[in-house]
Amino acid sequence: MWFPNAEVAVNPALLLLLGVMVGTLSGFFGVGGGFLITGGLLVFGVPPAFAVGTGLALIMGSSIINTLKHRHLGNVDLRLGMLMLVGTIPGVFLAEQLNSTLEEAGIIGPVIRYVYILFLGALGGFIVNDYLKLRRTSKLAEEEISTASLARRVQGLRIPPHSIWLPGLGKVPTYVSLPVSGIKNLSVFIPVAVGLGVGFFAGLLGAGGGFLLMPALIFGLGVPTTVAIGTDLFQIIVTGSWGTFIYALSHNVDPKMAIIMLSAASIGSQLGATATNFVEPVRIRILYGVTILAGGLAVALEQVSTFGESVEFLSTLASVVLLGVGGAMCLIIAAMMMIAKRKNR
């Protein structure tokens, strides 16, 4: 099929397959799936600018669908999400300023790739290590994390000022209760700081930031895994919408391609979001950790491919790794959900 905006011909069946994968992983892990979308579109021959812009459009649409599904399941903490947005938006603007500086210096490409490799490798390794620790203590079936004591200390932080004066409201305490997340009393400055950090790295790396926010909520704040997934998706709607708007202004979004993938993503979203009700939280996290490590490996291969013509084939291998692991994860998610359903019966 010919896509006039991107000026490329792509088999629509491949776009549908990519859409299903992104929708499933987004609903199950609570991430936008930007690294998977961009890599897949590049393999299909889509120009880089259109791969990123159209990918952001799919992230936005898929996140809206998944957020509504998780909201129905009671997995979205809107109060926590709104507080984080206060920090996310300025964080994105700060990152854009840094990106402009790096671009002027001509080093933006390598810097972003190395930061990606560092974060994906460290994050994936940490999540896998958390799983192994819980496995040794036989707590795999519980909503337990290895950083539980850290999360309790973070929740107990008392950060001044303890109250602020607002016009029409008077003196308002700077602490909030988050019943959906199971947090009785939390300083509002903590989620704002989390949002600022995630927004900064989302803007720096050109992604939705979900791959950082979901584990930050779980391991840093002690938010239940399914609630972290749903709240993460709510955040990605904002960052994805902003990115789509910017790329659309530059005419780097192919609506026809995005609509095809989004129609398939809506189907995958139902599978991914529903599966979170049947799969244990710790198993969700270990699958996410493996996916993150695969993403880090793919970015590393992409960086090495720039070292010379003799290793350029590693760029294609990087995309194959992403698509292969993404497809395998979708099959594993479907299988685990079916097994869990049978056990429940």
pLDDT tens digits, one per residue of 156-177: 999 988 888 888 778 889 999 9
Q: What does each C-alpha distance from 64 to 57, 98, 223, 234 come to in angstroms?
A: 11, 29, 21, 7
Tell whether the model's pLDDT for residue 32 goes beyond 80.
Answer: no
**pLDDT per residue over 250-277, tens digit each?**
677 788 888 898 888 888 888 888 888 8
Q: Residue 6 — pLDDT band, cuts 50, 70, 90?
A: confident
| Rounded average pLDDT over 6-19 | 84
Range of 235's domain?
2-344
Q: Check residue 35 and give its pLDDT.
A: 64
pLDDT tops 70 at residue 338: yes
CB 31 within 8 A of CB 273: no
Please tell me the distance from the alpha carbon of residue 156 to that of residue 150, in angstroms, as a whole number: 10
**pLDDT tier for residue 310 given thresholds of 50, 70 and 90:** confident
Contact 233, 75 (CB under 8 A): no
96-117: average pLDDT: 77
Give every CB contact of residue 196 below 8 A, 6+ residues apart in sequence: 87, 88, 90, 91
Q: Is pLDDT above 80 for 41? A: no
C-alpha atoms less than 13 angstroms from C-alpha of 107 in its C-beta half-sphere: 7
For residue 198, pLDDT over 90 is answered with no
pLDDT(90) > 90: no
Contact between 205 and 99 under an 8 Å Cβ cutoff? The reply is: no
Q: Which residues pair with 8 in a beta bridge?
A: 3
Give the number of other Cβ atoms within 10 Å of residue 1's Cβ. 12
Q: Which range is least confidently modeled, 239-248, 283-292, 308-317? A: 239-248
Q: Given CA atoms 235, 243, 219, 228 in this order, what sign does their dihedral have?
A: positive
pLDDT, one tens digit per residue, over 55-68 is 777 777 888 888 88
The model's pTM: 0.81
Whole-angstrom Cα distance, residue 290 to residue 292? 5
Q: Is residue 316's pLDDT more than 90?
A: no
Residue 248 predicted with pLDDT over 70: no
pLDDT-derived band at 134 (thresholds 50, 70, 90) equals confident
* % of residues, the chain, pLDDT over 70: 90
CA distances from 99 to 95, 203, 247 (A): 6, 8, 15
Is the pLDDT at 79 greater than 90? The verdict is yes
Work out whether the CA dihedral 210, 37, 23, 259 comes out positive or negative.
positive
Total tally of structural domains belonging to the chain: 1
CA–CA dist 26, 32 (Å, integer): 6
Give the mean model confidence (pLDDT) for residues 285-312: 85
Q: Is the pLDDT of residue 208 over 80?
A: no
DSSP state of 175: E
E strands, the chain, are: 2-3, 8-9, 163-166, 170-173, 175-178, 183-187
**Which range in 69-73, 106-110, 220-224 is most confidently predicted, on average pLDDT?**
220-224
Higher pLDDT, 322 or 129: 129
Pairing of strands 170-173, 163-166: antiparallel
If we measure between CA atoms, which residue out of 285, 318, 326 comes closest to residue 123? 285
CA–CA–CA angle 211, 195, 275 (5° rounding): 40
Distance CA 289, CA 328 (A): 14
Instruction: Give yes or no for a contact between 66 and 273, defined as CB atoms under 8 angstroms apart.
Output: yes
Length of the chain: 345
DSSP states along 242-271:
HHHHHHHHTT---HHHHHHHHHHHHHHHHH
